[in-house]
Chains A and B, each alone.
Chain A
Amino acid sequence: MITFSFDGKHIEAEPGQTVGAALIAAGHRSWRLTRKDGKARGIFCGIGVCFDCLATISGGPNQRACLTEVRPGDVVETQEGAGHGDLAC
């Protein structure tokens, strides 16, 4: 087992598992809030097509959780809107 964090919580994953799969397995269903209405989003297509499952993974926003393999120590955060909030002006 490898471990990573999600919004400060400790999560375990199988080696080779995607961030999305590990989060679902741990009982989490959403890790993004939409840009306009702030609605919760998680896995939809699960195969990299729909871009609904975007998350901020180890600092990089807009990464598809369904395709991104967990690396030990990853810091996954719920993404608010388009991410890149540090650049907003």
Chain B
Amino acid sequence: MLVIGAGVVGAACAYACTAAGLTVTVVDRGAIAGGTTSAGEGNILVSDKEPGPELDLALLSSRLWQDISADLDARCLEYESKGGVVVAGSAATATGLRALTAGQRAVGVDAVDLDQDELFQLEPNISRDVVGGALYRQDAQVHPMLATVHLLRRARQAGAVVRTGTTVVAFLRDRQGAVIGVKTDPADEFYARWVINAAGTWAGQVAELAGAPVPVLPRRGFVLVTEPLPRVVRHKVYTAEYLANVASDDAGLETSVVVEGTKSGTVLIGASRERVGFDRTFSLPVLRRLATQAIGVFPFLEKVSLLRSYLGFRPYCPDHLPVIGPDPRVPGLVHACGHEGAGIGLAAATGHVIAQLLTDQRPAVDLTPLRPHRFEEAAR
């Protein structure tokens, strides 16, 4: 098989497929983990998903990341099963959050409702204005680039070939139109029984090139990075408003704060969401809003310096679900894309089910809602 994209999803596909005995080549027009994967936060979350196909995938992924970190050494990946804490700023939000946790518990999420005192115990530096929240022990964190590199390291040990700086310029086809490989620049040809589209935010362009469009679009997100600090934030902490924003269809700027410490001591502050295409312009108003919201949750941040910020493009589909599975319009083409802001977390399960599909096993989760051609069906 051939994987287009050496980001975390492509790497997880290569990892799982080599383990399943397949011969794997990975190509990327840039560097390993140089695109979509390079600009995220490393979230492995079950907390931010409502019961449904994405949560099924997230629960599977949460287990698989534990296995991967045991296989590759958690320290190499900076994998931390630190847990997530969601906070509610008002009684109404707290009520909504309790309804969400009840539904999540019913499908296997470890979600514990917290009152104010319990919250202060878990996060001593949190604002005294929060009224309640929830603890999610399954939420974890990983360093996205390190995870990608080490997944590919293991895949290479199992025989995979990784070719960076190699852009796919055309699909090779047999007489029936099935994909049998790709043509690249620098000029080369790679033949494969399956071609996996794991091109992140650019997966829509790869799908277009294959003549099987999937609507993967960029959603811009900024992340702020503070100066190194001692451990000041214990979990992945975010406001319940984040949940509403992830599912929103609003094209304008949305911000809802996510705060977390890292192994290196810096604190990361996300997450804004804007639909502005691939515009990389720095935006002070967005950063200011994120910082203000972060100070609202952790007042001590007011006296902490920011070192820098970065931005990335989250690959989203109109229904906010990823695209995973073979494309019936173009035999031989398999998609593994459209994970929006959850790509790091969902990568492990995505690789796993792709390997199951390609070895004729029944996928561990039902992929019907994630089928690539669902958008055309809806348009009909």
B124, A82: Cβ atoms under 8 Å? no
Q: Please measure, in the bound complex, the distance between the C-alpha atom of A89 and the C-alpha atom of B126, giving whole angstroms.
A: 11
Contacts of A85 in B (CB 8 A): 230
B265 in the interface (beta carbon within 8 A) = yes
Q: How far is the CB of B126 from chain A (nearest CB, A)?
A: 10
A84 in the interface (beta carbon within 8 A) = yes
Q: Please measure, in the bound complex, the distance between the C-alpha atom of A11 and the C-alpha atom of B349, giving whole angstroms.
A: 61
B229 in the interface (beta carbon within 8 A) = yes
B227, A88: Cβ atoms under 8 Å? no
Number of residue pairs spanning A and B whose beta carbons lie under 8 angstroms apart: 30
A82, B125: Cβ atoms under 8 Å? no
A46 in the interface (beta carbon within 8 A) = no
Interface size class of B (residues with CB under 8 A): 10 to 19
Q: How far is the CB of A79 from chain B (nearest CB, A)?
A: 12
How does the 8 Å CB contact mask read for B12-46 relative to A, with 1 for contact and 0 for none?
Answer: 00000000000000000000000000000000000
A87, B227: Cβ atoms under 8 Å? no
A81 in the interface (beta carbon within 8 A) = yes
Chain A residues proximal to chain B, CB less than 8 Å: 35, 62, 81-85, 87-89
- Contacts A/B (CB < 8 Å), 30 sampled: A35-B228, A35-B265, A62-B227, A62-B305, A81-B230, A82-B227, A82-B228, A82-B229, A82-B230, A82-B265, A83-B229, A84-B229, A84-B230, A84-B232, A84-B304, A85-B230, A87-B125, A87-B229, A87-B230, A87-B232, A87-B300, A88-B230, A88-B231, A88-B232, A89-B123, A89-B124, A89-B125, A89-B231, A89-B232, A89-B234
Chain B residues proximal to chain A, CB less than 8 Å: 123-125, 227-232, 234, 265, 300, 304-305
